[in-house]
Structure formats: structure tokens, C-alpha cells
Amino acid sequence: MSDASISNKRGAAVISFASIKAACKDCSLRELCLPRGLDDRELMALDQTVKRRRIVRKGEHLYRMGDPLQLLYAIRSGAMKTSELLGDGRIQVTGFQLPGEILGIDAIDGDRHRCNAEALEISEVCEIPWVKLEELAQRIGGLQHQLLRLMSGEIGREGQLLLMIGKMSADERLLACLYNFSQRQTRLGLSPTDIKLHMSRQDLGDYLGLALETVSRLFSRFQEEGLLTVRGKYVHLTNLETIHTRLG
């Protein structure tokens, strides 16, 4: 949808988008992403480091648990999910990523990815060789700071999720999750009240520590209570104020 230029949906790639060179300085997401706060000269250096852009189709993986760390990924369009899994197949989704967000930094300690990263829909990502990026961060103070900030942010987000799953009731979890989506969509210049759920109910459940049926029932109940209206993947928050206050 957001990538109208890709018309052929199942055959081999018709046009080799994969080799298009990225250019942070022209990217609309610059201030949300890794380059935030860098000056023109530094931006050029970063651009030379970023390898290329790449299209990932729905269901395709950027990496899997155990893969050696080679690239970080910055999302340009689309949506991804990261998940860990237990030996017997139980899944915990650890995050959903939107444009401007970075994937892969969990793997720096241990040099291997600790989770799977899968596209929820057709997406475009920038590939960033980790070794080069670390070298560059050594030379550019602002980039080191930005990297540390990104990682710290990830820690904060996981802490939030921990609090949600560990101490919130099912309805609080889903509400907090929707509120979070609303805020992140706003950051991207989209509506705070009209949310697109890029993931399935199953994914939402696996993220919030709930069964998919519980998620579905909650949507119905919220609708009865007049908090929102649902139509498939689209949720309209009719009462953002109430939602905010109900979260304390």
C-alpha cells in the first residue's frame, strides 16, 4: 500500500530495489532515527556506512535467534515484530517496530541475535553493518550518544512491558498497549485516534501475555463500554481522555 511501486506480489523481484543506496540526509525519518542530532558532515559519513535499502515481504525474517550479528536495521516503512521462543514452541513477542526505529541491538552482547525479527507487512529497511557503525561512533560523539540512547530506550520499553505483563490486568494491558500505539503513530504524523493494528490478535496476545480469545473479547467489551470502535485491523479510539485516566 505504502509502496505503490511494487506491483508484482509473488514472483521474483522485477526491479532490483535491493541495491538502492540509502541517504539519511534526504530521509523524512531523520529526526526519529539514528541520525538524530548529527550535522551535515557527520550525516555524510553515516550515509557511507549504511549499506543499502532492502524490501522485506510479509512473514520474511530479518534475522532469527542465534544468527550472528552483522547488520542493524532501521525501518523506513512498514512494521516488524520481534519475538523470543521457548523450546516447546511457546512464543513471547517482545516488541513491535515502526518506521524510524532500530532493530538488532539486542545482539551486541554475545554477538548473536536473541530474538526473531519478522515483517508484519511489506516493509523497507536500511541495513547498517554493525562493525562499521561502532567504528563510526568512536569518531562521532553524537553518534555514540545516539546509540547509547537508543539502547537505553529499548531497556525502558522492555521495562514498561514487564510492568504491564507482570502487574496489570488483561484489560489494562490492552488499553496501555493501544495508548502506546496511539502515541507512536502521532510521532509519525498520523492520527492519535485512528489506529492501524499491523499485527494479528494472536501476535497481540503473544505480546501482552494473553490468549488471542481474551484480546478479542476485550475489544468487544471496550466497544460496548464506548471506549472505541473496532473494524478488523482498524481501531478508532473514541475517548482518548478516558483511556488515559483509566491507566492511572
Say which entry of DNA, a copy of itself, none residue 60 contacts (CB below 5 to 8 A, set by partner kind): none
Classify burial at 82, counting beta carbons within 10 Å of its beta carbon; exposed 0-12, middle 13-18, buried 19 or more: buried
Asked if residue 91 binds DNA (CB under 7 A), the reply is: no
Helices vs. strands in the chain: H and E counts, helices first? 7, 11
Please state the closest distance from residue 215 (CB atom) to DNA, in A.
7
Cβ atoms of 97 and 82 within 8 Å: the answer is yes
Residues 6+ apart with CB under 8 A from 155: none
Please state the closest distance from residue 210 (CB atom) to DNA, in A.
4
- Residue with grid cell 498520523, as numbered in its chain: 190
Helix, coil or strand: residue 85: strand
Say which entry of a copy of itself, DNA, none residue 21 contacts (CB below 5 to 8 A, set by partner kind): none
Nearer to a copy of itself, 48 or 138 (CB): 138
Asked if residue 200 binds a copy of itself (CB under 8 A), the reply is: no
Asked if residue 194 binds DNA (CB under 7 A), the reply is: no
Question: CB under 7 A: which stretch of 34-42, 47-55, 150-158, 167-175 binds DNA?
Answer: 167-175
Cβ atoms of 81 and 124 within 8 Å: the answer is no
The number of residues that bind DNA (CB under 7 A) is: 24
| CA 167/CA 158 separation, integer angstroms | 14
Residues 6+ apart with CB under 8 A from 1: none
Lay out the site mask for DNA across 199-228 (x = CB under 7 A, - = otherwise). Answer: -xxx--x---xxxxxxxxx-xx--------
Please state the closest distance from residue 109 (CB atom) to a copy of itself, in A.
4
Lay out the site mask for DNA across 116-155 (x = CB under 7 A, - = otherwise). Answer: ----------------------------------------
Cβ atoms of 204 and 215 within 8 Å: the answer is yes
**CA neighbours closer than 13 Å in the CB half-sphere of residue 219:** 21
Asked if residue 25 binds DNA (CB under 7 A), the reply is: no
- Residue with grid cell 550518544, as numbered in its chain: 145
Nearest in space to 103 (alpha carbons), one of 85, 122, 83, 88: 83
Nearer to a copy of itself, 57 or 157 (CB): 157
- By CB under 7 A, name the one of 23, 45, 170, 190 that touches DNA: 170
Q: Which residues bind a copy of itself (CB under 8 A)?
A: 84, 86-88, 90-92, 94, 105-110, 114-115, 134, 137-138, 141, 144-145, 147-156, 158-163, 165-168, 206, 208-209, 248
